[in-house]
Chains A and B, each alone.
Chain A
């Protein structure tokens, strides 16, 4: 849609018929305060209002009323010719007449439209035509009065309205809403299938006891989860509120250099603290097992084992000897007993082992007693005999004539276990020290952390004090302000702590809920409810897919909006600092437009001009999206959007950029007006020259009586 012409007749200061032609691109109306800028804007608002039949005699030009003879009538009319798939006209009007006593009567309200059907001009109801070509949803994002109304997301429903109108999200409504009151198909199907499943479970007598337990658990956990989420939301809201308050305060302070220093020191302290905390490992319980710390008292017990295993082995050998002796196996007995003194039980044949024995024989040295054992000596022969005996014992046994005394050889196993664990003895004995060292280490790190925390507290105290001191307050106010800030600080800290706890709790309940649900589903396996369970599982998955897709759609839309808004922001701020626009969706579904720097830090109090530019960028971006969505372009109409801009280069640049944007942009402003020698406002033609687009000058016709409204008439002159 493109506005071609607007006629305003007898509307407030617009006396008689005033027609303005419009072109594409920028259309500027330059006028000082009271010159009729806002009236023009209101005339358009009145025309675009399709909701009511609004005849308001206060709209009628006072000058016209004053001039109108008794019993005569005239017309108030606002009409617009526009291009939207062919030329169309919309016109709103009513008649007014002057009665005998000067009273004004109104009647004959008309709201007409005409469209070109290719053959002829056909009439149509004005409201219908407007709603068809310039629907309310679009109009909401096209007309802006004053700088303070530019933030289109300043009411909680605005974002949803925008998304629902211009993204594809509405297409999901029949399938998924997530709203219990207006469920979509998948919500309904999931709910019904769950009810059917639970009903089938309840009717199954076999599992009734367990079903009751589990479903009561499920109810309890769902309620708990709901409650936790509510608390989490409250705490998140609180954390945001107090952070914003503190950030605002911080940014409004003059002592920003001092603050900067404190903040830098705080950051470094926090970083150090986190690093040291990282060294602290207090998984003592896990170390009891993983590092086998639990064996710290085991030495005594292991000694008992050593003694028992050795005694057992010894006793076995003793009995074996006695047995051999008893059974007359003198030969074997002699061999061993000859080499040792009477009554002494020889070592097990496995000690020392085969390799050790061979090594000692080769070296002609007994490494058990630490003495030489040259070939030919008794000692040498003893070693050779012992090795032979060991080798003999490893030979497959010839079939015995008699059962041996010992059928088993657990003694060997216990000996081997003893030998193998003895190697770890040192480590075991040292465990108490290891544990003590770890505890000492953690203790020392904790002390360091405490020191850091003390320094942090001290810096924060100074910071709070500094924030309070710089508000030009009396001492009493100062104390109160300090108290407030301290409270905000505490509230924020509390909320942040709670968030961590609640997030953990939420996760735990979710896990628990999944577990119980799993058990509940498993209970169904052997019952008639199994089919219901499967159906519910499938429908639940489908519902989740729709939910995910819907969220993705919303996110994509917002990302696109952000991307486009940032492109405009970059254009509109030629050399100044401007940051990055972020559109944040809050938990309650509303949105916030914020500026961030590239390190994701919020810029809480951008100057008004930057803020205005930011909002306008978002508006241009929305306009782009509506253009894509409706396959048509729409004008943007702003009344005094740049009143906070300081005149000069900034304003010139701003309008230069807007005149380059390929969008019909109608702006009413007092920029480009300068005082002449008499103090009258005149157009600064030098600046206008460089602008692309149409420029009108609107001013009060002179002379006029500034105390008599009926002398006021706006005159519009095309100047470019």
Chain B
């Protein structure tokens, strides 16, 4: 009897685990633009964006990859810098303070790469937070191309703000989460 109960319990736990593992949560890419009386709200499943991006074809875009023609773009160097950043601890890597009061800061916090730009003269603030996994995915593959499709796939595993721009008159917010409405 005891064996039977234990067996039933194990089976229930296993089936529950399998259900949880199989349940994939859809992630949505949200964009909000507020500019005076104008409001733009975009909510798109990340998977939809990735599927469409994969199909888009142009001179500089092929199978979800953006071909960078800039000769100065060295992907191996960027990858090496990123790897070094991943292995290092949290902290600020770059800080630029301009004469007009503008400040640029690049730092790492846990698994996120954060870029803050404050332009006091123009009352503009830009906050960018990109998961390092997304940047890595973007640099995945061969040749001088950025893998946008892979980056979007990686973004589908992420929750949180990506870009916030506030210039006093208008605000732009881009973020990813599991809710369709984008709370």
Q: Do A and B come from one complex?
A: no
